[in-house]
Structure 1
């Protein structure tokens, strides 16, 4: 079973990360033969699919590489200046697995996969502009609503400052042109609103079951370890987002989503658009918490007013034919707006804007 989960994870990164794909296929074979990987992953034999044990394994190895404690393996990782040699990768990984068996077991058993992809700030930026404009139009307001942004499953909170990012779109820089985090969102099309208008976030709050403090070196290493080791562009994007987060801190509270959200939405806020946002977390939420979260949101939506509107903005995978696509979905109360704003890659980059009715 565990070997099958490793192979499943390997298929998900085959196109994007040959290094991670090769590592997981080799580890799956080693698991099937009862090799050293069985000791590294001891205790994970019955882990559910959603915990992605293969990516926890890859992240644990990458962390040792980032800490400079696996030099021969590091030679394969572009994130530390290496160059992959896939035919030798497993051969150089084996000594690390033997030398650090107990530590790797502790890392894989004591962590959860948290990519916290800052590329998703691109869809969020356009989605917030769309939501604020539509909420304003619904009441005949000339200027867009300011935003109270509430993120569920925020991890390190790297997507809590979409107004502080410099977005390079065509020959234009949108957002904060002086930001230390410059993002090419690789958009096809644009939202049907003026992105040069000021996006005002007046309050931000977030929760996560396992929040990451990116102001610490441990927090930086934790998130960095889950970047696939042969994706230097994605790596650089994460480091820039962490630098911005350290300049503009927003604490992430340790809490379950439904209970935290019920507290945050207890009272509508006048003259502010409250936006509940989450991205690629729904698959990790239990059925009970999903149902509770829907109920909390429905109750809050019933209390929303034209001058205290509420929006749900999510970037989550949906099955389309034989594969998954990531959709940016917007609901707005009491205006009754329900739209799919576009689709993109899991990391938020690239993204195609194409507004359709969301049923």
Structure 2
């Protein structure tokens, strides 16, 4: 039963990859699912994970581990068909790619099994598109220096989101020379309030950049950078380019990520008069146990209740709209003790966003 469930989870992820623009991974995961059912090497790679909950993203762990083999030169035949390593994937002749993938799993089983123990953390740079939108909304209410705090921060790349460049029809915000460019940030014309807020605050003063993660990644280490690259899908060059830019920016702009859970992290946060404290997170809530998330909400309520005209607080989240709704994610903002507002929705990678006028 566990093996069959593993195959079902893999096929589910294959559909997701197809819908999100990765024909390479959609094809490979269809073949992985078949290999699991047939008891092939992919079944061995996934052994023990058949009963893992959906948030464990078992298929993405496998893909990340194998992609790392291609990136490090340990799977040259696979690298030849991965665009991320200079190869070419031919959708009309995909079988050689599958054979190279299967051979890599077989030959490097110990490597793959080790990667299966690691939760996938893409630290998706595109999600900053939504997070910064929420930040600019908060800055309209509190035009103050910003304390930027992130839950589930992974490598902390999005703690530098104010240093990214965002471009869309009739809209641009962020340093023009930023190494991170988010093009086509909005579907159609961006919200009028956002254009106005960006014009009024062409730059923000961020006085603190701090996040938390139970298993943080050091983006300045070779191993950390490899992990981040490995979890980018190899046929999605725009995502890879954004990541490379964010890695360069991480060398220039310091940020701190504490190895601690979200609730304990927030418990140490105190209101700071004269600043706008922003707590944000993106597609991480599903990984937090219910009991801990209840503590997170209590801490957020505490900080919200302490907000005043001189002490700003905003909670910004980009999370699934509702359980069971595939690939629909919403940007929600809570300003101080006010009710939460839903401002936009976007695919899970953050681009393009679409304004939501009613929750």
Q: TM-score, normalised by structure 2?
A: 0.91
Q: Distance in 2 between matches of 1:333 and 1:97?
A: 50
Does 1:9 pair with 2:13?
A: yes
1:79 match:
84
> Would the aligned equivalents of 2:166 and 2:185 in 1 still touch at CA under 8 Å?
no
1:140 match:
none
Encode CA deviations 1:55-77: one digit per residue, 9 max, x unaligned: 10011110000001111111111
Which of the numbers 342, 348, 351 marks the counterpart of 1:349?
351
> Would the aligned equivalents of 1:339 and 1:355 in 2 still touch at CA under 8 Å?
no
Q: Distance in 1 between matches of 2:166 and 2:304?
A: 32
Encode CA deviations 1:246-299: one digit per residue, 9 max, x unaligned: 1112121100000111111xx311121111100010111111111111111112
Secondary structure of the corresponding residue to residue 306 of structure 1: coil
Encode CA deviations 1:307-333: one digit per residue, 9 max, x unaligned: 212111001111388544111100011
- Unpaired stretches in structure 2, ≥5 consecutive residues: none
Query: What does residue range 242-253 of structure 1 map to in structure 2 within 5 Å?
Result: 242-253=247-258
Deviation at 1:125, TM superposition (A): 2.0
Which of the numbers 102, 105, 110 marks the counterpart of 1:102?
110
Q: 1:324 to 1:236 in 2, by over 3 A?
A: closer
Deviation at 1:130, TM superposition (A): 1.1
Q: Distance in 1 between matches of 2:308 and 2:318?
A: 25
Deviation at 1:300, TM superposition (A): 2.1
Query: What does residue range 86-165 of structure 1 map to in structure 2 within 5 Å?
Result: 86-109=94-117, 111-133=118-140, 135-136=141-142, 144-165=143-164
- Unpaired stretches in structure 1, ≥5 consecutive residues: 137-143
2:190 match:
190
Q: TM-score, normalised by structure 1?
A: 0.91
Q: 1:254 to 1:185 in 2, by over 3 A?
A: farther
Q: 1:277 to 1:185 in 2, by over 3 A?
A: farther
Encode CA deviations 1:336-356: one digit per residue, 9 max, x unaligned: 253111111111111113343
Bigger proportion of residues as strand: 1
1:53 match:
58
Q: Distance in 2 between matches of 1:27 and 1:324?
A: 22
Query: What does residue range 210-249 of structure 1 map to in structure 2 within 5 Å?
Result: 210-249=215-254
The total of aligned residue pairs comes to: 345
Does 1:294 pair with 2:293?
A: no
